[in-house]
Structure 1
Amino acid sequence: MFEVLIQYISGVLDTPDDQVRCVVLLFMGYPLALVLRHILHPSWTSLHVRHLFSSLSGLTLAALCYDWQVMVLVVGVAVGYIILLAAPSNVVQRWSMGWVFVFMSSGHLYRTLTDYGGWHLDITG
């Protein structure tokens, strides 16, 4: 149903559907922020519930925006977190920077090879 709505809006505005999807999801973040601020207020909601809500809503929005690429993004973040936990404190910043550089460079290289000169929203955006 979400894809049908995005394709309809894209057809009406004569705009690529990935751009419309990104803008629609950005505007969907505002009601979610109101829920987090007013319904899940810190004075009567535990920190774990707020973190769970933020994580699930963020992953849902990312999955709707990036489709299958959200799994690549989740793996990249998980590897970065493992580096943060496992690396010695005197080199963690170098290893993290190295991982992010390799991860983003491989994403840009993949995009260059598959969609050179085109414009499609992906995780490198």
Structure 2
Amino acid sequence: MDLEKRRVEIAALNLANIHATAPADKLPYAHQKVVAEPLSVNFNQALSSASHTVLTRKVQVIGSDAPPRLAHDPGHPHANPQGFVAYSRIDQATEMVTVSTAMRAYEANIAVASSARAMAAKALELGSQS
């Protein structure tokens, strides 16, 4: 769930900086992306009551090295001598899809946690009846 929350935060940051510019001698905001390594866990080990290990994964936020998008606007205060302004290379549609998929994954994780909690409560209820 933390991973999906982080993906939403980074996508929101990218969207907030979609129209950000920088002075001609500097680069604009660099598009960022969340990268996580996959978990390789033995299912039975993860479910065993004797195992109290916390499942963690390495999560990184990496910046894009794509060149900035140049727009001709000679009157802009950040325009270079040729009249071009450098904007971040951020695609709004891609960022919105990232937000949408991360939100759905977060909701699915909440549903799984709720189901697990309900099953554990039912198991305790059944155990106390015998």
Q: TM-score range by the shorter chain?
A: under 0.3
Greater C-alpha radius of gyration: 2
Q: TM-score, normalised by structure 1?
A: 0.28
Bigger strand fraction: 2
- Which is richer in helix? 1
Give the TM-score of the pair, scaled to structure 2.
Answer: 0.27
